[in-house]
Amino acid sequence: MSRWENWEKPLAFLMWSVLPIVTIFSIFAYLDQGGHYNRVILIGSLGSIAFAIPLLLRFTERLIVPWALIVMIYASLINHLIGDFLMFYTIYPWFDKVSHTLSSITVAIIVFMFLIMVDHYIRSVSIPVKLMPYLVVTTVCLLGVIWEIFEWFAGYMGVEMQFYLEDTVYDLVTNFIGASFAAYVSYRYVLQRGLEHVVLSLEVDDFMERIANGWERMMGAL
Amino acid sequence: MKRRPEDYAWIFTWILVGFLFFSILLAVSEYRVFFVLMGAFALYLTLYPPIKYRDPSIMPAFELVALLTIPFIIFAIVTILPTTDILTGVRVSEMLAIFAVSLVMMVHLQRYHGLVLDRILLVFFMIAFTSTLGMFHTLGLYFNDQLFGTSYVTSNHILMTDMTLATIGGVILSFILLAYMRRQSLFHLTLPEYQRRDGE
């Protein structure tokens, strides 16, 4: 039995228990604010759903989401919920940078997984492993830029999300650092375990075969 | 085998490489870090095939190297003749350099590093490269301001405009690359040697 398998049950229990806690917490936060602060319950509910997705995928065996990724998704979401509920984003300006770093690490791992699956299952695509870290970093940087553009436009719609120049600059810098770190660690992991082993451990053969067939039909139609 | 005029394109390509060298020296003398880095990158993309195949006649397609050189020509003109103002001068050439380097890098990765993409992924990564280079460029200017007291990026609006333009440019560029690659094979774009072999 591997090291992870020993930890799997208590870790899963811990993570499932976060779901009702977040939901109850968001309802209390909502009531405490006199029912006016709808955003809290919205984020709490969305958070609960987001928490459930990777675990549901894992336990219904649709996709064996690696524990490292599940932990990172939880860390990012909990960090964001704390920042929002407890107003840490307002009280501590650096807290936002922690959020950006954690989120970019999570997104980078997801992009890495996506690329190795695309490389493995889609016959018309080949992505050498040595290029994957660069492609992951550029993808996460693009997503970071799109997010900043969204915040910028939100400002014109009356929702102030982007405050000052330094804030935007360090958001982008922390995105880049987080993405580079995750891309490097994922790359080393794939080198150590072997690409084939990592893809097969996700146990998505049937599911991905269907996706790959659909993708190739779409490419043929384009 | 009878040689065609395009078989001599590599000689003109080398002339453009010489100009790229000159531009880098000019950028060094003017302390333009962006053009030094971009020039070095453009040289890498241009000189990779002849060095890899140990043959000076194996060069990227002339039009690709010409595309890489255009921003450096604007930069050289604006620097040598400061009264000249082609559109807004150096800033335009910086943006063009980002577009050209991203496009040629995309071709380079596919031809020499085993990257095979379908159309959707080609469009996506073209946008990602351009946007990321645009981001590095703008952040570079910001840190230049902080370290050397220049004033390129003085507001959030300038930062966001630069990055948005780079991303929109990437979208347009991706469709240009797609249309271009439907007409020309990767071999044509990068290895005249293969064209000759194909023609035999």
Which of A44-53, A180-189, B29-38, B72-81 is least confident?
A44-53
- Among A87, A114, A136, where does a domain finish? A87
Within this chain, do residues A44 and A67 fall inside the same structural domain, yes or no?
Answer: yes
**pLDDT score, position A133:** 95
Question: In chain B, which residue's Cα lies nearest the Cα of A156?
Answer: B157
**pLDDT score, position B199:** 39
Mean pLDDT over the full length of chain A: 81
Count other C-beta atoms under 10 Å from residue B182's C-beta.
9
| Number of helices followed by number of strands (H, E) in chain A | 9, 0
CB A159, CB B167: distance < 8 Å: no
What's the CA gap between B185 and B174, in Å, rounded? 16
CB B153, CB B130: distance < 8 Å: no
Host domain of residue A189:
93-222
Q: What is the pLDDT of residues A140-161, one digit of tens each?
A: 999 999 999 998 888 888 777 7
Task: Decide if A154 touches B, using CB distance below 8 A.
Answer: no
Within this chain, do residues A2 and A106 fall inside the same structural domain, yes or no?
Answer: no
**Higher local confidence (pLDDT), A46 or B40:** B40
Using a 10 angstrom Cβ sphere, with 0-12 exposed, 13-18 middle and 19 or more buried, the burial of residue B112 is: middle
Output the six-digit token pair for A209. 């075969």
Confidence of residue A38 (pLDDT cuts 50, 70, 90): low
Confidence of residue A135 (pLDDT cuts 50, 70, 90): very high
**pLDDT score, position B198:** 41
What's the CA gap between A63 and A124, in Å, rounded? 23
How far apart are the CA of B152 and the nearest CA of chain A, in angstroms? 13
Within this chain, do residues A213 and A121 fall inside the same structural domain, yes or no?
Answer: yes
What's the CA gap between A182 and A175, in Å, rounded? 11
Chain A CB contacts of B155 under 8 Å are 165
Of B128, B160, B163, the CB nearest to A139: B128
Task: Decide if B113 touches A, using CB distance below 8 A.
Answer: yes
Q: Is A135 within 8 Å of B125 when comparing Cβ atoms?
A: yes
- Among A87, A122, A145, where does a domain finish? A87
Within this chain, do residues A75 and A97 fall inside the same structural domain, yes or no?
Answer: no
Chain A CB contacts of B156 under 8 Å are 152, 162, 164-165, 168
Within this chain, do residues A103 and A204 fall inside the same structural domain, yes or no?
Answer: yes
Number of domains observed in the structure of chain A: 2
Within this chain, do residues A215 and A118 fall inside the same structural domain, yes or no?
Answer: yes
Q: Residues of B numbered 56-95 whose beta carbons fall under 8 angstroms of chain A's beta carbons: which are they?
A: none
Within this chain, do residues A83 and A179 fall inside the same structural domain, yes or no?
Answer: no
Record the pTM: 0.83
- In angstroms, what CA-CA distances link A178 with A95, A184, B72, B131, B138? 15, 10, 33, 18, 19
Within this chain, do residues A127 and A78 fall inside the same structural domain, yes or no?
Answer: no
- Among A87, A102, A125, where does a domain finish? A87
Residue extents of the structural domains in chain B: 5-195
Selection from A175, A163, A162 nearest residue B135 by Cα: A175
What's the CA gap between A129 and B49, in Å, rounded? 22
Q: Is the pLDDT of residue A110 over 50?
A: yes
How confident is chain B (200 residues) per 10-residue block, as mean pLDDT?
64 87 89 88 89 82 86 85 60 84 88 86 92 92 88 88 91 87 63 44
Of B114, B125, B160, the CB nearest to A148: B160
Output the six-digit token pair for B140. 């570079």
Within this chain, do residues A106 and A82 fall inside the same structural domain, yes or no?
Answer: no
3-class SS of residue B116: strand
What's the CA gap between B166 and B173, in Å, rounded? 10
